[in-house]
Structure 1
């Protein structure tokens, strides 16, 4: 008999598509949130050099001192004066131990919907109660929406900015208003900012931590520099929380791979402006193409677009797209609704153009 907690889990809709991709010959894969470029050579070279030098054993659970010091320095440049930082096993590992540190069984966690697939399942595994905040149709989180979901059991608000799956980026004014609600109700905010480098419209970007102290900021390198397999991220928070995270990580992931942390040191100072410029062009290409026949919000960050299905469900559209070898993800993988679907534009321009053409044929010609 397996553990009862597994009853709350179901396979991720994204992983189902990922598995499907392996069974289709030459698919047009616009489903996975994985960049279409390799780790830049200077970052790889640094990691390999330290691996060859023998930096392959355990290191301090909280991470290499030089990386943590650089992270604190860069955060201060953004006006974020965190007491401490812990290097984690990717942002996913950082999220898991953060929720382990914050919630008890029965605590409610407020999650804007649509959302990244992992958030609610980890809450349920820990005995917490996810409460979804409906942000349709424009996907912008407003104070009144949060207030309507708050109860005496509410403890944590999760904020993903820039957002997966919508690409929405909340403005500093919006974040100030959200921070005021969090402060009023003494909530912790877990801010997943893994896409903070992918910003396209030169709008001012702030972390909610600029406006609210009880924030845990989660960032990493998987998206920015194609390092998704390296599993290096970090959580910045108060010293009390970081001490708890260190203990939890010690008993779970132990530490992020040390030679890869050395690579992250180079990544912290790497100029990615050329990459962002290319992805801005991809964003423009996919938005222009889909906006001609679908209702869709223009993404300002990350590398996803979340169009509305004009009729039927997202799942039904995805099933039809698969028959044309196009892989996209139904909105139900990210939401309590199945009215949209997610397209990743972390792909070649040729694949994006083919994807637009197939979707047009499916939705306009039939």
Structure 2
């Protein structure tokens, strides 16, 4: 049996590799898991009650339309229109089995092997892996001091093979949020060159403002350029239900649905019903969780201002801190391994999010309570001693 060499020679999932380190722990203390970004609180009660009623329904396990449940698409289009003060209709929305699937389907609809897609650094690793697995060349868009890219940098990388520019905002792993004016400027670059701007907005509910994340949806022609990707996992604490969505042109959506039909027929019905219930009955619950996350983020930033052990926080947002370790000349994978095995502290190396080693760590503080931050600081100091 011959395997696809593009798959064989890929790196393993960085998240799987990180958790594999736990098999070698010396277990000197309690594990402090700062690697995963999934919510640790239970799903909103209103969502649980709704999905329980659906599960008992005679047709609760039926297939749904490939594009998704009409009432979910309608509700989500309305929510986007309100949140962004824009114009999004049901026909713009396709529901997917998580935001990862939305990205994969969109890229497959836009690009062929040999084409290029721009990824803003630091990138989300699944985006980079999917491009390379499909023979699409990732082109890395460097960031400025604020950890977000400039329109000039994007323009300089465009070639005749470029098909899309990808931004994740707030960023995973950096937490850095691209401001609306910068998003608009990069969208204009994409529009002028006939490219798609793929905007992964998984963590939009966890920004430090209630203002719209961008103004693109207010342009009647937004769908000619913008592809906006979303997840309900963090908003409603349903990561295992695998439900996300994309907002794009009906023309692109038709191509995405062909792929979705081959891959999964439709996103899981129970997840779609959970997302609809969240949008319809748990918006205040959602806002309260976002406020809690903001409080936790401020506590983390305050703790890191002391630079424990010489570890330096460069940015923080959503559930993430982007931290430079103090060990110049030492590989980041080695630092992460030592933190896990010796100090019972699990983080993700920055090499999972960049093409080279820049001495960075991703810290996901969404998993832990406020009391864990002082413990984390002590472990960093011990690791640096």
Please give the TM-score of this superposition, normalised by the length of structure 1.
0.93
The CA distance in 2 between the partners of 1:31 and 1:206, in whole Å, is 29
**Contact map agreement 2:203 2:234 (CA 8 A) in 1:** yes
Which position in structure 2 is the counterpart of 1:356? Answer: 377
Q: How does 1:167-182 map to 2 (within 5 A)?
A: 167-182=175-190
Check whether the contact 1:29–1:326 (CA below 8 A) recurs between aligned residues. Answer: yes
Moved more, 272-281 or 5-14: 5-14
Mapped to 2, the partners of 1:99 and 1:182 lie a distance apart of: 15
Q: 1:117 aligns with which of 112, 125, 136?
A: 125
What is the deviation of 1:259?
2.6
Any residues of structure 2 matched to 1:1-366 within 5 Å, and which?
A: 1-21=2-22, 24=25, 26-54=30-58, 55-77=60-82, 78=84, 79-82=86-89, 83-135=91-143, 137-202=145-210, 205-206=213-214, 208-210=216-218, 212-213=222-223, 214-269=225-280, 270=282, 271=284, 272-293=286-307, 294-299=311-316, 301-312=317-328, 313-322=331-340, 323-338=342-357, 339-346=359-366, 347-363=368-384, 366=385
CA distance in 2, matches of 1:41, 1:34: 18
Q: Partners of 2:144 and 2:327 in 1: how far apart? A: 17
* Larger fraction in helix: 2
Of stretches 341-350 and 7-16 in structure 1, the one that deviates more from structure 2 is 7-16
CA contact (8 A) 2:21 2:337 kept: no
Flag structure 2 segments of 5+ consecutive residues without an equivalent.
none
Unaligned runs of 5+ residues in structure 1 are none
**Residues 191 and 208 in structure 1, CA contact (< 8 A), matched pair in contact too:** no
Separation (CA, whole Å) in 2 of partners of 1:7 and 1:208:
40
Report the more deviating stretch, 53-62 or 15-24: 15-24
Tell me the SS of whatever aligns to 1:162: coil
Contact 1:307 1:341 survives alignment (8 Å)? yes
Q: Is the 8 A contact 1:85 1:237 kept in 2?
A: yes
SS in 2 for 1:296: strand
Q: SS state of the match for residue 119, structure 1?
A: helix
In the alignment, the residues of structure 2 paired with residue 285 and residue 173 of structure 1 have an alpha-carbon distance, to the nearest angstrom, of 29
Query: 1:319/1:219 Cα in 2 relative to 1: closer, same or farther (>3 Å)?
Result: same
Summarize deviations over 1:60-107 as a string: whole Å, max 9, x none: 111111111111222222214354211111111111111111101111
Could you say if the C-alpha distance between residues 239 and 126 of structure 1 is closer, same or farther in structure 2, counting changes exceeding 3 Å? same
Structure 2 SS opposite 1:337: coil
- Do 1:103 and 1:126's aligned partners in 2 also have CA atoms closer than 8 Å? no
